[in-house]
Every structure is written in structure tokens, then in C-alpha cells.
Amino acid sequence: MDINNIKMVGVDKDTPLELREKVSFKDIGEALIKLKELGLEEVVILSTCHRSEIYFYSQKISTDEVKDFFINYFGLKEDFIKYLRQIYGLDAVEHIFRVACGLESMVVGEDQILSQVKEAIDTAQTFNSSGKILFKLFRDAVTLGKKARTDTGIKDLALSISYIAVKFVQEVFEDIKGKKAFVIGLGEMGQNAMKNLIDKGADVFVTNRTFSKTIQLKEQIPEIHVVPYEQKYLYIASSDIVISATNAPHYTISYEKFKEVYNGRKICMVDIALPRDIDPRIGQIEGVSLYTIDDLKKTAEENKKERLLLIPVIEKMVKEEVDKFEKWYKTLEIEPYIKEVSRYANEVYNTEFQRIVNKLTDVSEKDKENIKIALKRVANKMANKMITYLKENAY
């Protein structure tokens, strides 16, 4: 079995946008069916906004043939063909591992690609096109991607402003589960902050100058509580967390009005608007922690630098997993022998067990069971010794 039968054809983030748009798979199921009709034994399609890649395992079909399929399927012109990448064997294995770890993403270690890799193998299984080799490959890629993010801590180095905002809040309260959070503004950053707060278990209240828009948002995020804009200071006074992200050209939370309602409780306020929503003087009040978008951007830049420093660590993890996959693949060649050793060991132990109990008289069922267990243990030890020898020589 040749590991070079694992192959990949496709384009990635380094390909011009006009080509990436052209080769985005709209119906992956349809494409998988067509590729299987081409004669591929196993095939998985990974299609995202930054890459369109066909992974396949075949002893008969070459990368050139799949490249031709790619060209014809999307109607590519000659000047685009040069961007199609073809790799195989351990290079293809290493590539999908790097992709799953976020090493091939625009943002190193980003999370979305991991779920997209998982979705790719799930879809392939739905259409019965993944097979033993690619299922193992993609399953290992997903497992490695999770491990890399957890073990290195790269997943905690947030780059999203709204996510960092919630991280700042967590540093103030340690645990925000059950805390009352008040979000002002329904823009993208405001909505992301709401979702992050809800994920952390906070009780989220939301307001916006246009009340109807707030009602519409509740249909999309039913966990939020809608608050009329006129009552915002009342809710600010009773909240543990306040996040403001509006487009207003002036302060939406003034120093004077805040002072009127503030009761001295510990409160964390995060201003992710530009121009600022919260009068900066509020941050000087005892009991108030105030963070601005500059604080968040500074953290994002620091996190970005730290992510880049982790690249060699993750690359080492990838190399180790490539070696493990190669060893697993080599054992496939001796799999029939392993099965035969296990079958023969099982046959011997059963035969010997029957021979012994037939000769013995007045033996209790418990003693018979003990004899059976002992014989099985001996047979398994001998079989495992032989299997280990086979595997070591396969490597």
C-alpha cells in the first residue's frame, strides 16, 4: 500500500480572490457524487471562503485527472489553472493537519476552520465517500486541531474585539455566570458581545434607540431581555456589566446622569464604540472598571504577536502526528496477518480449554471459568508479542 495514494488538488488563501470565488463548491454533495463516478475510492471536499480542496485516496486516479475535473467542473480558464495545487502522500497528510490547526489560515489558530474540517468529513460520510483512510486522516486532523488550541493556549489569545471585551469582564468578576449584563447597541460587535455573554452564562439585557430593531433582534437571539432606550440609566444602575457599542456621535452614557443613578456597586464597563460612547470620567469613579476600544485593540495586537510565537510549537505537534499517521498507515499492510494471529490465538485457547475440561471431573463452573480466563490470557500475551513484532518490522 503506497501512502502516495493520499492526494489533494485545490486552491487556498494565497490564490486571488476572483478565482476563489469562482471555485467555491455550491453543492458539495453533487460534487462528491460526480467524483465517485470518476472512479475515486475515497473523497472529501473542504470548501471555505479561503480554500476549495479535494482530498482523495485512490490507487488508480491521478492528481492530474482530478485537476481536469476541477477545471471542467468550474470552467476555469488557462490563466487560472496555474494556481491549482497538487500534493500527495505525507505532504497531503501534513497539509490537512496544518489546516485543522489554523496554521494555513489568515489568522493563525482561528477556530472556524476546525469546525469546517469536521463538517467536511461529516458530509463525506453522509454521501458514503470518506472511506477508512480519509476518515482516519480527518478524524486525526480534528483531534490534533483541538489539542493544539488547548495545549498551547492559543484559543485564549482572542483577536475579536467583542470577545476580548467579555474576557476583560471575566478578569474583573472571575465568573460572570448569573451576572446582569446590559448591552447598548445592535451592531455586529454589540451582537457578538451579547452572544459571548450568553455563552458565559450572563443574564443579558439589550437596548437600542430604535425599539423595533431590538424587538426584531430578540427573534434572532431569544435569550436577551429587551429594554426601552429611555430606561437605560435605570438598568445601568442595576447591572454588573455594561457594554456600549453604538454609532452615536456623542456620549450615550454621560458622567452627570451616571453619577445620579450609580449606587457604589462594583461595575465593569466596556466601551467598544468609536467615537466613544461612555464619558471617560466615569472610569475615575471608585468601584467602576472602564475599558475602551484602545485597551481592547492593544490586547488584540499583543495576542496576535503571541499567536505567531506559538507557530513553531504547533508545527512540532503536526510533525509528531504526521509520523504517527505514517506508522498507522504502514500497519495496514500487515493487518491481514494481525487478524490471522488473533484468530489463531483464539482458536488455540478454545481448543485447549475444551481439551482440559473434558479430561477433568468434578470441576465447578467457577473453576472452569478461571481456567478459561487463564488460557485466554496466555494466548493473548503470545499473540500480542507476535503482533508487536509485526508492527515494529512494518515501521
Question: 3-class secondary structure for the chain?
Answer: CCHHHEEEEEECCCCCHHHHHHCCCCCHHHHHHHHHHCCCCEEEEEECCCCEEEEEECCCCCHHHHHHHHHHHHCCCHHHHCCCEEEECHHHHHHHHHHHHCCCCCCCCCCHHHHHHHHHHHHHHHCCCCHHHHHHHHHHHHHHHHHHHHHHCHHHCCCCHHHHHHHHHHHHHCCCCCCEEEEECCCHHHHHHHHHHHHCCCEEEEECCCHHHHHHHHHHCCCCEECCHHHHHHHHHCCCEEEECCCCCCCCECHHHHHHHCCCCCEEEEECCCCCCECHHHHHCCCEEEECHHHHHHHHHHHHHHHHHCHHHHHHHHHHHHHHHHHHHHHHHHHHHHHHHHHHHHHHHHHHHHHHHHHCCCCCHHHHHHHHHHHHHHHHHHHHHHHHHHHHHHC
331 grid coordinates = 500497519
Alpha-carbon distance of 63 to 91, in angstroms, equals 14
134 grid coordinates = 480519509
**Residue 284 to residues 21, 28, 170, 269: CA-CA distances in angstroms?**
50, 56, 20, 12
Alpha-carbon distance of 40 to 222, in angstroms, equals 45
The alpha carbon torsion through 289, 294, 296, 299 (nearest 10 deg) reads -110
Alpha-carbon distance of 204 to 223, in angstroms, equals 7
Amino acid letter at 28? I
Alpha-carbon distance of 109 to 113, in angstroms, equals 9
195 CB neighbour count, 10 Å cutoff:
17
Pair 141, 122: CB distance under 8 Å? no
Choose, from 17, 49, 234, 360, the residue flagged as catalytic.
49
Amino acid letter at 14? D
Q: What is the pLDDT of residue 335?
A: 73
Q: Which residue has the cell 496466555?
A: 378
Q: What is the pLDDT of residue 378?
A: 86
Which residues, given as ranges, of the chain have pLDDT below 70?
A: 390, 394-395
Q: What is the pLDDT of residue 394?
A: 65
Q: What is the pLDDT of residue 77?
A: 83
Give the predicted TM-score (pTM) of the model: 0.74
The whole-angstrom distance between residue 288's C-alpha and the CA centroid of its chain comes to 36
Which residues are bridge partners to 244 per DSSP?
Answer: 184, 271
Pair 264, 287: CB distance under 8 Å? yes
293 CB neighbour count, 10 Å cutoff:
21
Which residues fall within 8 angstroms of residue 207, CB to CB, at 6 or more apart? Answer: 182, 183, 184, 214, 226, 227, 228, 229, 231, 232, 235
Residue 49 is among the residues annotated as catalytic for this protein = yes
Nearest to 197 by CA among 221, 214, 213: 221
Alpha-carbon distance of 288 to 386, in angstroms, equals 69
Q: What is the pLDDT of residue 158?
A: 83
Q: What is the pLDDT of residue 87?
A: 96
Q: Which residue has the cell 477508512?
A: 132
